[in-house]
A = this chain, B = another copy of it.
Amino acid sequence: MLTERQALILKVIIDEFIETAQPIGSRNIAKREDVAYSPATIRNDMADLEDDGFLSKTHSSSGRIPSEKGYRFYVDHMMSPLQLSNDEVRLVQSQFDDRMIEMEKVMQNSAHILSELTQYTTLVLGPEVYETKLKQLQIVPINKQSAIAILVTDTGHVEHRSFAVPSEIDHSDLEKVVNILNEKLVGVPIIYLDRMIESEVIDLINRYTSNFQKSYDLIQKALFNHQTTSLYVSGKSNILMQPEFNDIEKARSLFNVMESEDQIAPILKTNQEGLKISIGHENEMEVMNNCTLITATYTLGENQIGTIALLGPTRMEYAKAVSLLDLWSNHMSQSLYRWFND
Chain A positions within 8 Å of B, measured between CB atoms, are: 98-102, 105, 135-136, 138, 140-146, 148, 150, 152, 154, 156, 158, 160-164, 221-222, 236-237, 240-241, 245-246, 248, 251-252, 255-256, 258-259, 338-342
On whether the beta carbons of A99 and B163 are closer than 8 Å, the reply is yes
From the candidates B99, B156, B241, name the one contacting A252 in the complex (CB within 8 A): B241
Interface residues of A, dominant DSSP: mixed
Contacts of A148 in B (CB 8 A): 102, 152, 156, 158
On whether the beta carbons of A143 and B102 are closer than 8 Å, the reply is no
On whether the beta carbons of A143 and B154 are closer than 8 Å, the reply is yes
On whether the beta carbons of A237 and B259 are closer than 8 Å, the reply is yes
Cross-chain pairs A/B with CB under 8 angstroms, 13 sampled: A99-B163, A101-B163, A102-B161, A102-B162, A142-B154, A145-B338, A146-B340, A156-B162, A158-B160, A237-B255, A237-B256, A240-B248, A248-B251
Expressed in whole angstroms, the Cα–Cα distance for A161 and B341 within the complex equals: 18
On whether the beta carbons of A100 and B154 are closer than 8 Å, the reply is no
Contacts of A259 in B (CB 8 A): 237
Stoichiometry (number of copies):
2
From the candidates B160, B237, B245, name the one contacting A102 in the complex (CB within 8 A): B160
On whether the beta carbons of A150 and B163 are closer than 8 Å, the reply is no
On whether the beta carbons of A140 and B136 are closer than 8 Å, the reply is yes
**A158-B156 CB under 8 A given contacts A136-B140, A340-B146:** no
Other 6 A-B pairs with CB < 8 A, given A101-B163, A138-B138, A146-B339 = A98-B164, A100-B222, A102-B162, A142-B340, A150-B152, A237-B259
Contacts of A342 in B (CB 8 A): 143-145
On whether the beta carbons of A156 and B150 are closer than 8 Å, the reply is no
- Nearest-neighbour CB distance to chain B for A234, whole angstroms, equals 9
Contacts of A141 in B (CB 8 A): 135
On whether the beta carbons of B237 and A145 are closer than 8 Å, the reply is no
Contacts of A246 in B (CB 8 A): 248
Contacts of A146 in B (CB 8 A): 101, 156, 339-340
- Nearest-neighbour CB distance to chain B for A146, whole angstroms, equals 5
Contacts of A222 in B (CB 8 A): 100
- Nearest-neighbour CB distance to chain B for A228, whole angstroms, equals 13
On whether the beta carbons of B255 and A240 are closer than 8 Å, the reply is yes
Contacts of A158 in B (CB 8 A): 148, 150, 158, 160
Expressed in whole angstroms, the Cα–Cα distance for A248 and B241 within the complex equals: 9
Expressed in whole angstroms, the Cα–Cα distance for A338 and B146 within the complex equals: 10
Expressed in whole angstroms, the Cα–Cα distance for A259 and B237 within the complex equals: 8
Expressed in whole angstroms, the Cα–Cα distance for A160 and B105 within the complex equals: 10
Expressed in whole angstroms, the Cα–Cα distance for A339 and B163 within the complex equals: 9
Expressed in whole angstroms, the Cα–Cα distance for A181 and B310 within the complex equals: 44
Residue of B nearest to A256 (CB): B237
On whether the beta carbons of B142 and A156 are closer than 8 Å, the reply is yes
Expressed in whole angstroms, the Cα–Cα distance for A340 and B318 within the complex equals: 52
Expressed in whole angstroms, the Cα–Cα distance for A100 and B218 within the complex equals: 9
- Nearest-neighbour CB distance to chain B for A252, whole angstroms, equals 5
**A100-B161 CB under 8 A given contacts A138-B140, A148-B156:** yes
Expressed in whole angstroms, the Cα–Cα distance for A298 and B154 within the complex equals: 37
On whether the beta carbons of B152 and A140 are closer than 8 Å, the reply is yes
**A237-B252 CB under 8 A given contacts A158-B148, A158-B150:** yes
